[in-house]
Structure 1
């Protein structure tokens, strides 16, 4: 028993070493990513996100390059050229995102799509013109992924438990030690462990293999791509029946509502996308199974998938005319087209041709991230054109200036609100010279268009919830010079008005004052009154909160939270000088919650 354990550990160690030798450039990129993570752990105020994702992209590109070399080439010079190409593409990615001020949603989404496409390429390349099918290569990666997750989780828990025991029983450890341990496990061990499961797929260099070497290679590949018995049972007798029940429910809904809610129900859209992903994934996993459930699934479900996804894609396209095209709907429509193509391939092509869907996915992914037809360029142009056409139809846009007009239809008000909200949430407002930069602050929206924002349930602002927090680690001191008193306050929109207006007694130079909170509709004021209840200063807290939230937004991810300077707003008159320092401000559902300090100086 012990010998078997030792032998297994030895084989796995050999596998890890072989993975390092097979993917040397990938290992260098992973080491660089781990170094970046180490710097992020040590220096929490700096953002290294661009460098981190650059190295992740590089690791994936170099892994795909190695798979391509093993499948189609034999010479060292060819391997070096492929590795050089991966390095050049990685540098190209870095310079493409370097000019951006922050790693925003657009860059993040495009990076995510690129990562997904590279993973698909990693799976697909070994099956191109090979006796190994895409389904088998997918199964190998599928198993390797979950085994890696299991091992990495167990190792992480064990190491964290050891660190905790040392910290509690022997001597104190810096809390950052836990982060460094997890960094090593997930940045270095986990990817290397995963790659160690990649078998030596047959390639051009293996054409001359004979006898024992060929048998050994085929044995390793067969073991890697084989479907475990337990997984086969799970797919055949649990996942497939559950998918069948879900399909019946979806079909029933589509048939019952084909003339009504189906075309307008946006809640159904993510359900159908999830359904399509499930069917495609289960089909690929079931392609290597030959029991009755798997065979029936492969015969029936792709043909059911086609009409369901077709109807949903048409419904999504029809909504563009009314709501415009956002990057989210772009991807929904693009995925719908892909799912239809996948359904056709699964229905009318042999199982060995399933790799075609990987090629389609990679092409579609490239289309969605490369200008000028990428999701964000197309959606930005569409939303701006929709806004301009709506304003023009209502006589509100002349000579590149917006003329306020409150006497327009509610539908057009919603369209204007929705498009401006989308453009603002994506940071496109700065590029539109006829719109104010801070359009949703200080009443700018009403001043610009002549009416308050008008939302419907599906058109709520994507950034309707905002927050700002003071980073005490970066700003541990507050200058209280020249102030007489500090008062700690909470702004609670649900606080009873009589309690808020009662005021907090403040004694300065033997004189008694009261600091009152007045929350009246959308307005929030801090009012200081003297002993005779005469108002000395009216501090506009709502305006201050908006300014602080805007300061938080301007950080754009470069630093997580505010400094004292950015969290402070001051107002004064001839009698009083008052400043607030916001410990936190949260805005949600058109209400403000704040934890703040008020500093008061009587002149």
Structure 2
């Protein structure tokens, strides 16, 4: 055990020496986390993700050097390229506050592409296949996750014991300890499992290096059994269920069923993943799987892609739909490679994935440029068809069809969520707030999934305008979440007398009832009436949420025994159903 521990520590030291620039970036990541833990008010995500991207670029650069280069100058050039690309990423983000959905997704896609490159580069025109390199990374990930989790749990327990038994420790010590484990130890420990793959510089590896590589790329017996006799049979059963579902339900609305697309995407990901893992096995189960399931994958992917394309005609192109269709094309190509090319060619899948990832984040045909342009055009076309866009100004029109109202609402909501409204001169920035939507278009926002004949209403307490609430002279304040599907009882003690505040359902109403110890009713409140008072003027507020003052949000009910004030902090109403959060203030007379 001591010898194995010694060898693993030597491996960690060698990983630091093998990836020096990566180590510098990881130290920078840990440093940013230390500053972030100490200064919780500022956002350091821009620096954090910059250094993480830099670490991944430097790892890929090192693998490119090991596989194709021989000179030290070439290594320094690759390091310089990684630093320049990292700097380019940093300057691409204006500020930490600009770290929006678009930047986040592009960063995630770029990091995933770099991970694929990390696995694929050592297998390019090499004796080692992509499947073997993937197996090495797969094993390293789970071993690292196990070691890191055990280490984190152990360190946290030690800190807790010291804090409880010896002397007080600041709560931030936990965060600092976990930062060291997950920012420094885990990545370097993972890289220490990366074997010395054969490259241009050292095509003939030593016996020790060959043994280390064989251990890294080999499939453990337990994992082989798990893949062959558990994962593959489960995938087969899932395939049968999927095919039966498709055959029994294929008809017109089948293609736009919201359940179909995520189900087919998840199946496709599963089959591709299992195919890569099974490529390293040579038993009967794995060979049958590789022979049959990639061919099954091809029609499944066509189903998924057709369903996604039909969704475009209904809702236009969003970045999510762009990625789903892109993934469908990638999965179709993967199915062809798995079905008709030898196992050694599986590396082409990684190459295709990296190319597609680059296409999806680099303008002008990236997911976000395409989706923004499409959604703006859909909105402009819908407004123009209804005579609502004249000389760059929107003309309100409440008489358009329900379908067009939903289209306008959907596109505006998407553009607002992606922070694109500021790039459209003829739309106000805060169009979904207060009454801006109705004033702009002449009708309330109508969302998909809501029956056009139904009416939805919303109201919230404006805490910014009313941060202080006077609870004098009440005896108790009770927080309640009220909806049309739940009943509950809250015990309340006032002046050593026990009461129960009951929430009960009665037809389409929610009743609040206060009873004493003998279950005698002291007061009864119909919340439907209360919510009607709160929402009575809501129509004038249009598509946004009505913001309430404390005075407007408070409704009083009283008799000769009890005064009950209901302070509504949030309420929504649709199709005779209410959902509300409130404070109940009680005064026993």
Regarding TM over 0.5, the answer is yes
Equivalent residue for 2:341, pick from 349, 359, 362: 349
Show the 5 A alignment for 1:367-446: 367-446=359-438
The one-character-per-residue Cα deviations of 1:298-331 (angstroms, maximum 9, x if unpaired) are 0000000001111210221122122101111100
Equivalent residue for 1:291, pick from 283, 298, 315: 283
User: What is the deviation of 1:394?
Assistant: 1.1
Equivalent residue for 1:319, pick from 311, 323, 330: 311
8 Å CA contact 1:519, 1:525 repeated in 2: no
Equivalent residue for 2:70, pick from 67, 74, 77: 74
8 Å CA contact 1:19, 1:192 repeated in 2: yes
* Structure 2 spans left out of the alignment, 5+ residues: 484-502, 515-526, 553-566
Equivalent residue for 2:185, pick from 185, 189, 199: 189
User: What is the deviation of 1:486?
Assistant: 9.8
User: What is the deviation of 1:449?
Assistant: 1.6
Corresponding residue SS for 2:257: coil
- Equivalents in 2 of 1:498, 1:279: separation in Å? 49
- Equivalents in 2 of 1:78, 1:147: separation in Å? 33
- Equivalents in 2 of 1:364, 1:169: separation in Å? 56
8 Å CA contact 2:572, 2:579 repeated in 1: yes
In structure 2, relative to structure 1, the CA distance for the partners of 1:321 and 1:168 (3 Å cut) is same
In structure 2, relative to structure 1, the CA distance for the partners of 1:191 and 1:252 (3 Å cut) is same
- Equivalents in 2 of 1:449, 1:544: separation in Å? 13
The CA RMSD over aligned residues, in Å, is 3.5
User: What is the deviation of 1:542?
Assistant: 12
Aligned residues between the structures: 523
Corresponding residue SS for 1:204: coil
Are residue 235 (structure 1) and residue 227 (structure 2) matched? yes
User: What is the deviation of 1:455?
Assistant: 2.0
Q: Which residue of 1 aligns with 2:149?
A: 153
- Equivalents in 2 of 1:448, 1:194: separation in Å? 55
8 Å CA contact 1:200, 1:217 repeated in 2: yes
User: What is the deviation of 1:428?
Assistant: 1.4
- Equivalents in 2 of 1:42, 1:336: separation in Å? 44
Show the 5 A alignment for 1:506-521: 519-521=530-532
Q: Which residue of 2 aligns with 1:337?
A: 329
Corresponding residue SS for 1:311: helix
Q: Which residue of 1 aligns with 2:494?
A: none
The one-character-per-residue Cα deviations of 1:176-208 (angstroms, maximum 9, x if unpaired) are 11111110000000000000000000001113x
The one-character-per-residue Cα deviations of 1:132-168 (angstroms, maximum 9, x if unpaired) are 0000000000000000000000000000000110111
Q: Which residue of 1 aligns with 2:295?
A: 303
- Equivalents in 1 of 2:79, 2:271: separation in Å? 36
In structure 2, relative to structure 1, the CA distance for the partners of 1:465 and 1:57 (3 Å cut) is farther
Q: Which residue of 2 aligns with 1:200?
A: 196
Corresponding residue SS for 1:98: coil
Are residue 263 (structure 1) and residue 259 (structure 2) matched? no
User: What is the deviation of 1:258?
Assistant: 3.1
In structure 2, relative to structure 1, the CA distance for the partners of 1:344 and 1:446 (3 Å cut) is same
User: What is the deviation of 1:587?
Assistant: 7.2
- Equivalents in 1 of 2:135, 2:407: separation in Å? 46
Are residue 49 (structure 1) and residue 41 (structure 2) matched? no
Are residue 244 (structure 1) and residue 236 (structure 2) matched? yes
- Equivalents in 1 of 2:187, 2:573: separation in Å? 43
Corresponding residue SS for 1:205: coil
Of 274-283 and 405-414, more deviation after overlay is shown by 405-414
8 Å CA contact 1:524, 1:541 repeated in 2: no
- Equivalents in 1 of 2:16, 2:377: separation in Å? 52
8 Å CA contact 1:468, 1:585 repeated in 2: yes
User: What is the deviation of 1:445?
Assistant: 1.6
8 Å CA contact 1:469, 1:584 repeated in 2: no
User: What is the deviation of 1:398?
Assistant: 1.1
> Which TM-score applies when normalising by structure 2?
0.81
8 Å CA contact 1:145, 1:194 repeated in 2: yes
In structure 2, relative to structure 1, the CA distance for the partners of 1:96 and 1:397 (3 Å cut) is same
User: What is the deviation of 1:125?
Assistant: 0.2
8 Å CA contact 2:46, 2:95 repeated in 1: no
8 Å CA contact 1:345, 1:354 repeated in 2: yes
- Equivalents in 2 of 1:50, 1:343: separation in Å? 38
In structure 2, relative to structure 1, the CA distance for the partners of 1:44 and 1:168 (3 Å cut) is same
The one-character-per-residue Cα deviations of 1:261-318 (angstroms, maximum 9, x if unpaired) are 3311121111111111100000000001111110010000000000111121022112
Corresponding residue SS for 1:190: helix
User: What is the deviation of 1:401?
Assistant: 1.6
Corresponding residue SS for 2:282: coil
- Equivalents in 2 of 1:67, 1:24: separation in Å? 13
Are residue 63 (structure 1) and residue 59 (structure 2) matched? yes
In structure 2, relative to structure 1, the CA distance for the partners of 1:438 and 1:241 (3 Å cut) is same
- Equivalents in 2 of 1:469, 1:171: separation in Å? 44
The one-character-per-residue Cα deviations of 1:519-568 (angstroms, maximum 9, x if unpaired) are 54494599xxxxxxxxxxxxx999998669xxxxxxxxxxxxxxxxxxx9
Q: Which residue of 2 aligns with 1:92?
A: 88
User: What is the deviation of 1:469?
Assistant: 11
Equivalent residue for 2:111, pick from 115, 122, 133: 115
* Structure 1 spans left out of the alignment, 5+ residues: 472-477, 503-515, 527-539, 549-567, 572-582, 599-603
Q: Which residue of 2 aligns with 1:511?
A: none
Of 139-148 and 445-454, more deviation after overlay is shown by 445-454
User: What is the deviation of 1:102?
Assistant: 2.5
Are residue 19 (structure 1) and residue 15 (structure 2) matched? yes
In structure 2, relative to structure 1, the CA distance for the partners of 1:336 and 1:522 (3 Å cut) is farther
User: What is the deviation of 1:22?
Assistant: 0.3
Corresponding residue SS for 1:189: helix
User: What is the deviation of 1:436?
Assistant: 2.2
- Equivalents in 1 of 2:134, 2:182: separation in Å? 22
- Equivalents in 2 of 1:70, 1:162: separation in Å? 41
